[in-house]
Homo-oligomer: A and B are copies of this chain.
Amino acid sequence: MLGPMSSDRPVKNVLFIMCDQLRWDAISGNGLDIIDTPNIDRLAARGVRYQRAFVQGAVCGSSRMSFYTGRYVLSHGTRWNRIPLAINQMTLGDHLRPLGVRTVLIGKTHMTADVEAMNRLGLDPDAPENLFLAQGGFEATERDDGLHPDRPGVHDLPYNRFLRDHGFEGDNPWHSAANSVRDEHGNLISGWLLRASPYPSIVPDELSETAYLTDRAIEFMRSAGETRWCAHLSFIKPHWPYVVSEPYHQLVAADEIPPPRRSEAELHHHHPVLRAFQESRVGWAFRSERARNSVYPAYLGLVKQIDDHLGRLFDEMATMGRLDDTMIVFTSDHGDYLGDHWLGDKDWLHEEAIRVPMIVVDPRAEASATRGTSSSDLVEAIDLVPTFIEAMGGDPADGEPWLEGHSLVPSLHQGAEIGRRGAVCETDYGFLEMSERLAPSSRARDRRATMLRTQRYKYILSETGPNLLYDLDEDPEEFHDRIDDPGLATVRSELHEQLFEWFRARAHDTTYRDATMARLAAPGGMARVGILIGYWDEAELAAGVAGELY
């Protein structure tokens, strides 16, 4: 077995593990501590646990495109699920390819190809040579977006074929077996319904989607040979449908779940968007004890199941020697309210929804000093692309102007702080049913909010209704909106201005690099290419070309 890598060598591979809808506090050591996740802890013991990591978008699609492009939602433009990633955007795969690295997908991306632009440019979205482009820069070893509703039609998913090979019949055993249950009377209940969660999934654990994707990851690593890779193992769970295989469905009892984190003050908050979220179907559903008692135990069971399968994966990696040459990241695309703040699902900007676990293991000797530490630096999802580039031997500066995050390698090696002034997360409620009712006179695309989260404050600029302000030192649970607090007037306007600066600093203009500008701006640079502006005569020109005159 190899020892830790020597100091000037890049890591050979990256394993980029993502859960879907995993709250920051659901794994051990992060708050709830209802279940143990020893295998995730085992990762954390070898790496750094970033405890203030925030996603950039509040739903799968927008958040993931930030993870995969290293860019804010405002910059990549995929503001919600099913919104195509614009054809011009550079992805992780585009950045790693020049380093000779395969980027491999095992699981979910929620990426939608920009077919309209592909058609306009004469690029066939189905042609094999365009697959990388149509799949968000991943070689789609095993693509599964994990959202296969019960509708008539073809469900041509490898996991469905796998389940059928194991005797689960039908068009879509993803739904009818893996995401359905039978109650005590043998009646079939769809796992989409909240009342299904206390029952075990029809498929056993070893055939669950979590087990299946883990198997595919192991299989990939065994067959990968000497080619360097960045493998994105992207679990579907603990995202809804909230059902889990035996025995995970009964690991946690209904009376062991935490009480809802919510206050009466929140329920009476006048903010139209907050109220609409509270009154939405899912908000209303999770207000009830019934839903929480049904779903929360299954949710934690799904997390425990992931941890167990990760244990299996890490053991296999140890055997293969892959723990020694592979950077491992464990994170999630967003959280889940589960009834906190009188809300369900996600889409809004409380910590429960947009703060995620973020554990990074750098196997190299330089990271020895930081192993097992945790950091309260403000980290963003967009930091991962530059981290991977640097860890794999590239220069994140080559990603300019695309990349908007910071490599975590200096933090992993020297404990250096990024020193980010604030983390930003964007949300769009224009796609939700509440939207039309809430802001009928606005353009659908203006139904948005942008959060700026500093170490102390959270400021939310809401395009509908007033802005919001929380002091997280005094009110870590975000029960009290302080936007009208005269004592915080200066803070409020400073955060507003900081957010304006953030908007102005976005790199929408991606077709040139700072170096291009510097070359044009060099003294005498224009004159040297024959563009002569403001020279009276030949003598001035000669001096100008020589760079002597300004």
| Residues in chain A within 8 A of chain B (CB atoms) | 74-75, 77-80, 82-88, 94, 114, 116-117, 120-123, 129-130, 133, 147, 149-151, 190, 192-195, 240, 279-286, 290-291, 344-345, 401, 430-437, 443-446, 450, 461, 463, 500, 503-512, 514, 516-518, 520-526, 529-538, 541, 544, 549-550
Is A508's CB under 8 angstroms from B150's CB?
A: no
Q: Compute how far the CA of A88 lies from the CA of B87 in the bound complex, rounded to whole angstroms.
A: 6
Query: Do A88 and B74 touch (CB < 8 A)?
Result: no
Q: In the complex, what residue of chain B is closest to A504 when comparing beta carbons?
A: B503
Write 11 A-B pairs (CB below 8 A) sorted by A numbering.
A77-B509, A114-B511, A192-B530, A192-B535, A194-B536, A279-B550, A284-B534, A344-B533, A344-B534, A430-B521, A500-B503
| A149 x B240 contact (CB < 8 A) | no
Which B residues are CB-close (under 8 A) to A450? 504
B285 touches A149 (CB 8 A): no
Once the chains bind, are A281 and B535 in contact (CB under 8 Å)? Answer: yes
In the complex the two chains form, what is the Cα distance from A444 to B512 in whole Å? Answer: 11
Contact B122 A285 (CB under 8 A): no
- The answer to whether B508 and A75 have CB atoms under 8 Å apart is yes
Centre residue among A151, A436, A516, A517 by max chain B CB count within 10 A: A517
CA distance A12 to B432 in the complex (A): 43
Interchain CA distance A430-B74 in the complex, whole Å: 23
A192 CB contacts on chain B under 8 angstroms: 530, 532, 535, 541
Whether A541 lies near B509 (C-beta < 8 A) is no
The answer to whether A282 and B436 have CB atoms under 8 Å apart is no
When the two chains form their complex, are residues A510 and B86 in contact, meaning their CB atoms are under 8 A apart? Answer: yes
**Nearest residue, chain B, Cβ from A192:** B532
Copies in the complex: 2
Task: Decide: A550 near B281, CB < 8 A? Known: A123-B122, A511-B114, A534-B194.
Answer: yes
13 further interface pairs, Cβ-Cβ under 8 Å (given A281-B550, A285-B535): A75-B508, A78-B509, A83-B511, A122-B130, A149-B530, A240-B533, A281-B535, A283-B534, A290-B536, A291-B536, A430-B517, A433-B521, A444-B514
A536 to chain B: which residues have CB within 8 Å?
193-195, 285, 290-291
Query: Which residue of B77, B120, B437, B511 contacts A510 across the interface (Cβ within 8 Å)?
Result: B77
Q: Which of B133, B281, B529 contacts A151 (CB 8 A)?
A: B529
From B84, B282, B514, B544, A281 is in contact (CB under 8 Å) with B544
CA of A446 to CA of B114, assembled, Å: 30
- Chain B positions within 8 Å of A443 at CB level: 514
The 10 closest A-B pairs by CB, nearest first: A149-B530, A282-B534, A77-B509, A192-B532, A285-B534, A84-B511, A444-B517, A88-B88, A281-B534, A444-B514
Assess the A520–B550 pair: CB atoms within 8 A.
Answer: no
Residues of B contacting A129 in the complex (Cβ-Cβ under 8 angstroms):
122
Q: Are A280 and B500 in contact (CB under 8 A)?
A: no
Query: B residues within 8 A CB of A549?
Result: 281
For A433, list chain B residues within 8 Å (CB): 521-526, 550
A286 to B522, CA, bound (A): 22
Contact yes or no, A194 B281, CB < 8 A: no
Chain B residues lying within 8 Å of A511, measured Cβ to Cβ, are: 77-78, 83-86, 114, 116-117
Interface contact B445-A531, CB-CB below 8 Å: no
Contact residues in B for A434 (Cβ distance below 8 Å): 521, 550
With the chains together, A495 CA to B269 CA distance in Å?
30
**Which of these, B445, B504, B516, B534, contacts A514 with CB under 8 Å?**
B445
A410 → chain B closest CB, angstroms = 19
- Residues of chain B lying within 8 A (CB to CB) of residue A283: 534
Q: How far is the CB of A53 from chain B (nearest CB, A)?
A: 24
A503 — which chain B residues lie within 8 A by C-beta? 500, 503-504
Q: Is the CB of A121 within 8 A of B149?
A: no
Question: Across the two chains, which residue of chain B brings its CB closest to A117?
Answer: B88
Q: Are A193 and B541 in contact (CB under 8 A)?
A: yes
- A535 touching B193 in the complex, CB below 8 Å, given contacts A129-B122, A401-B445, A504-B463: yes
Cα distance A509–B444 when bound, in Å?
13
* A190 to chain B: closest residue by CB: B532
> Across the interface, which residues of B come within 8 angstroms of A133, CB to CB?
121
Q: How far is the CA of A285 from the CA of B82 in the complex (A)?
A: 56
The answer to whether B445 and A530 touch across the interface, beta carbons within 8 angstroms, is no
Bound together, the chains give a CA A20 to CA B389 distance in angstroms of 44
Q: Indicate if the CB atoms of B193 and A531 lie closer than 8 Å.
A: no
Let me know if B291 and A446 touch, CB within 8 A.
no
Please tell me if the beta carbons of A87 and B121 are within 8 angstroms of each other in the complex. Answer: yes
B508:A77 contact, CB within 8 angstroms: yes
When distances are taken between beta carbons in the complex, the residues of chain B under 8 Å from A114 are: 88, 511
- A194 adjacent to B535 (CB under 8 Å): yes
| Chain B residues within an 8 Å CB radius of A86 | 88, 510-511
Q: Which residue on chain B has the smallest CB distance to residue A118?
A: B121
